[in-house]
Structure 1
Amino acid sequence: MNAHDLLDIDAQLSDEERAIRDTVRDYVRSELAPHVSAWYEQGTVPIEIARGLGKLGVLGMHLEGYGCSGTTATAYGVACRELEAIDSGLRSLVSVQGSLAMFAIHRWGAEEQRELWLPRMAAGDAIGCFGLTESDAGSDPGSMRSTAKRDGTDWVLNGSKMWITNGTLADVAVIWAQTDEGIRGFAVPTDTAGFTANEIPRKLSLRASITAELVLDNVRVPAEAAFPDARGLKGPLSCLNEARYGILWGVVGAARSCLEEALSYTLERQQFGKPLAAFQLTQRKLADMTIAVNNASLVAVQLGRLKDAGTITPVQVSYGKLANVRSALEVARTARGMLGAAGITLDHSVMRHMSNLETVSTYEGTEEMHSLSIGAELTGIPSFR
Structure 2
Amino acid sequence: MSKSIGKVLGGAFLALFSFASSGQAELIVAVIAPLKIGTPFAAVGRQMKAGAEQAIADVNAERMIHNAAAVGRKLDPLVLQLADDDCQVTLGKTIANQIANQGVPLIVGHFCSSVSVEAGQIYKANGSLQIAPFSSMPRASSSSTLFRLTGTLSSQAGLFVSFVENLVQGNPDLSASTDVAIVVDRSPYGEELGREIAQQLKDAGVDTPTLPADDPKVFTLKENTKEAALETATELVSWGPEVVFLGGYHPEMDVLTGEMKSRLPNAKLFLSDANVTSTFVNGAAGTPSNPPVMIHSANPVPDLCGGNPAPANCAVKARIATRLGAGVDVEPSALFTYAAIEVWAKAEASQPDLWSVGSTLESNDFPSVLGLVGFQNGDTNDQQFLFFTWIGNKLTSFSP
TM-score (norm 1): 0.28
Larger % of helix: which? 1
